[in-house]
Amino acid sequence: MSADKLSRTFAALAHPTRRAILARLHKGEASVQQLARPFKLSGPAMTKHLKVLEKSGLISRTRRAQFRPCRMEAAPLKAAADWIELYRQEWEDRFDRLESYLKKIQQPQAPKKGRKS
């Protein structure tokens, strides 16, 4: 996934309303009206959130007669998770080294032999 697509994915996920929309779509398709129901948003505000999600590739919309359901698309989420995974192991290794170092410096030091106090 290109950095541009990855940036759009993370930008879309940055807003709690959009994350809530994705959580709802994780359960299955929903209409815009169904998605808007739990939020106190104007129609244009909801449409703006959906457009951000759609441009990022996180959702798609289809048309069945007059019903336009939204559906979650998993590929951008997988690409974001894969990108995070690249760095997860490095972060864990660094935390393990930090933990070892902190334990080492917290151990009481034994007095050195041959020195007079």
Per the domain annotation, does 113 fall within a domain? Answer: no
Structure tokens given for 57: 């590739």
The answer to pTM > 0.85 is: no
Chain centroid, CA 34 distance in Å: 23
Per the domain annotation, does 75 fall within a domain? Answer: yes
Q: The CATH number of the domain where 59 resides is what?
A: 1.10.10.10
Per the domain annotation, does 6 fall within a domain? Answer: yes
Which residue range forms the structural domain that includes residue 34? 1-106
Task: Tell me how far apart the alpha carbons of residues 53 and 69 are, in angstroms, rounded to a whole number.
Answer: 14
Per-residue pLDDT of the chain (117 residues; tens, 9 = 90+): 556 999 999 999 999 999 999 999 999 999 999 999 999 888 899 999 999 999 999 999 988 777 889 999 999 999 999 999 989 989 999 999 999 999 999 988 777 776 565
pLDDT of residue 117: 53
Per the domain annotation, does 114 fall within a domain? Answer: no
pLDDT of residue 68: 84
Per the domain annotation, does 116 fall within a domain? Answer: no
Per the domain annotation, does 111 fall within a domain? Answer: no
The burial class, CB within 10 Å (0-12 / 13-18 / 19+), for 21 is buried
Count: domains in the chain: 1
DSSP-derived letter for residue 15 is S
Instruction: Single out the residue of 70, 73, 72, 71 nearest to residue 33, CA to CA.
Output: 70
